[in-house]
Amino acid sequence: MSVEQLLQTIAGYLNGNDIFTVNTLGMYWDGFVNTVQLVFISLLIGLALAVPLAIGRGSPLKLVSKSIWLYTYIFRGTPLLIQLYLAYYGFAFVPGIQDSWLWFFVQDPLYPALFAFTLNTAAYTTEIFHGAIKSTAKGEIEAARAFGMSKAMMMRRIILPSAFRRALPAYGNEVIFMLHASAIASVVTIMDLTGAAYYVYSRFYAPFPAFIFVAFIYMALSFSIQGFFRHLEKRLLVHLKPNNR
C-alpha cells in the first residue's frame, strides 16, 4: 500500500473530526520523529561521554576528579530549561560566531538542543556510573589484585562489567527522565511531540484532545523503554535474582 493510499484510508476514519485531521496527525508524526531522534542521539553521545567521565570522577588526581565533579554539579544543579535557553539564545550572541563555521550548528535549533540535552544526561549518567563503580565489592577488587591484574585490566574485566549491571535500573530511569525532559524542546521552536500538541491546542483551543493524545504517545514510548530495560535486566542481572528452584 502506498503512502497516498494509507493517508486516504486514515482520512476516511477521520471523517467529521475537526481536530485530528491528516494535517495535524502528520504534525504529531513529525513531532514523534523529532522527539525520538533528539532523545536517542543525546542519550547515545551522553552514554559515550559518561563512561570515561565516571572513571575519571574516581581518579586519585584531584584536578581530574574535582573538575568532573564541578561539571556534574553545574549540570545537575541547574534546570535543563535554563541550559537549553543558554545554549540556544546565548551562543547566538557570542561575538563573531555568525561568521565562523560554528554558525552552521548554532543557527539550527536542533544542535543547541542536542548540546544541552547531551551534556545534561552525561552529567547524570556520570554520577550513576560513578556510584556503581564506587560500590564494587571490596572482595572482587582484592581477588583481582591477588591475580596480579593491572589497574586497567581490573577496570576492564572486573569493575566496569559489574558496575554497569548494577547501574542498569538507575540508568533506565534516566532514559525515561530524558524522554520526558525533552518536552521542553518546543520552546526553541523544535516541532517535537509537545510542540505539535501546543500547535493543535492553540489552533483549535482544545487543550484536552491535544494533550491527552500526546500523553498517550509519551506513555507508549515510556512503556517500550521500560520493556527494553526489563528485558536487559532479566538477562544481565540473572545472578542477582533470588534462587527459587
Which grid coordinates belong to 113? Answer: 538542543
| 199 lies in the site for other proteins, by CB under 8 A | yes
Measure the CA–CA gap between 99 and 151, rounded to whole angstroms: 47
Q: Using CB under 8 A, which of the segments 55-63, 145-153, 163-171, 195-203 binds other proteins?
A: 195-203
SS3 245: coil
# of chain residues touching other proteins (CB under 8 A): 18
Rounded to whole angstroms, how far apart are CA atoms 101 and 122?
Answer: 25
Q: How far is the CB of 15 from other proteins (least distance, A)?
A: 20
> Judged by CB under 8 A, which of 13, 101, 104, 205 binds other proteins?
205
Q: Does 223 bind other proteins (CB under 8 A)?
A: no
Told to check if 203 binds other proteins by CB under 8 A, we report yes
Question: Do 210 and 193 form a contact (C-beta atoms < 8 A)?
Answer: no
Given candidates 195, 213, 218, 221, which one binds other proteins under the rule CB under 8 A? Answer: 195
Kindly give, in sequence order, each residue whose CB lies less than 8 Å from that of residue 145, ignoring residues fewer than 6 positions away: 154
Closest CA to 114 of 190, 176, 61: 190
Q: Taking the complex as a whole, how short is the minimal distance between the CB of residue 14 and other proteins, in angstroms?
A: 18
The verdict on 202 binding other proteins (CB under 8 A) reads yes
What's the alpha-carbon Rg for the chain, to the nearest Å? 22
Note whether 187 binds other proteins by CB under 8 A. Answer: yes
Residues 50-109 interacting with other proteins (rule: CB under 8 A) = 89, 92-93, 98, 103, 107, 109
Query: Residue 56 in contact with residue 129, Cβ under 8 Å?
Result: no
- The grid coordinates listed for 3 are 503512502
C-alpha cell belonging to residue 141: 577488587
Subset of 109-148 contacting other proteins (CB under 8 A)? 109
**Least distance in Å: CB of 110 to other proteins?**
12
What is the nearest approach in angstroms of other proteins to the Cβ of residue 75?
24
Residue 210, all three cell numbers: 491535544
Binding residues for other proteins, rule: CB under 8 A, are 89, 92-93, 98, 103, 107, 109, 187, 189, 191, 195, 198-199, 201-203, 205, 207
